[in-house]
Structure 1
């Protein structure tokens, strides 16, 4: 493990969790997006990530984004302007409690990686002070 590997590894983790936080924010912002039944529902975003050079300290990376169901869920709202002839509209199939749980996990993981960077920076600064 190199001298500055801890900062690079934690930085890659922060990048992954920032992407995850962005996806969750997008999902929460579109939780109540209504569409006509003739259109696809808003599709939730889910981040796929993996370790880089698993087994050696190299970090993490975002592999891609997976989209949720386009079918969504049908809700009976006959007064909605988007309602079809039977009174149904299409909402995204996003569970608020699941998204909030994931939000907390992503926030804590992001904070943990930021703390690693802070500790590594403090250690490097202390090592430089010893060298004086």
Structure 2
């Protein structure tokens, strides 16, 4: 029974991690058009969640956690907009380093991982219920 409990705990840690990852991706998508508010400022910088393995000392099971949410260090694309109040001396405006296609693909992968963890929890719960039924 402890193995089933451990597997549910591992899957639950995956649910929490993927949920946070989806929130970070949603934030990136929401800010994909957020340019700097002043001429010498930076636009929104894409953020990426980084995962790490985490051992539960009580059970010995290895789960996953978000170790950090870091800014993407890639450069900002520049667009020629000489009339913009935040344009540089050459008339270029730095855009956020968010690619909506990459974010959509990342969101789909996070959703699939979330669904897989839900299915694993449901399977473990089903096995637990069948075991209880056998013991009756």
Under a length normalisation based on structure 2, what TM-score does the superposition of the two structures give? Answer: 0.85
Moved more, 85-94 or 9-18: 85-94
SS of residue paired to 2:3: coil
Say whether residues 1:46 and 2:36 are aligned partners.
Answer: no
For 1:100 and 1:70, the matched residues in 2 are separated by 18
Deviates more, 1:68-77 or 1:28-37: 68-77
**What is the CA RMSD across the aligned residues, in angstroms?**
2.1
Match of 2:101 among 97, 112, 116: 97
Q: Which runs of 4+ in 1 moved over 6 A?
A: none
Query: Paired residues, what number?
Result: 131
Stretches of structure 2 lacking an aligned partner (at least 5 in a row): none
Q: Which residue does 1:76 correspond to in 2? A: 80
User: Which blocks of at least 5 consecutive residues in structure 1 are unaligned?
Assistant: none
Q: CA deviation at 1:37?
A: 4.1
SS in 1 for 2:69: strand
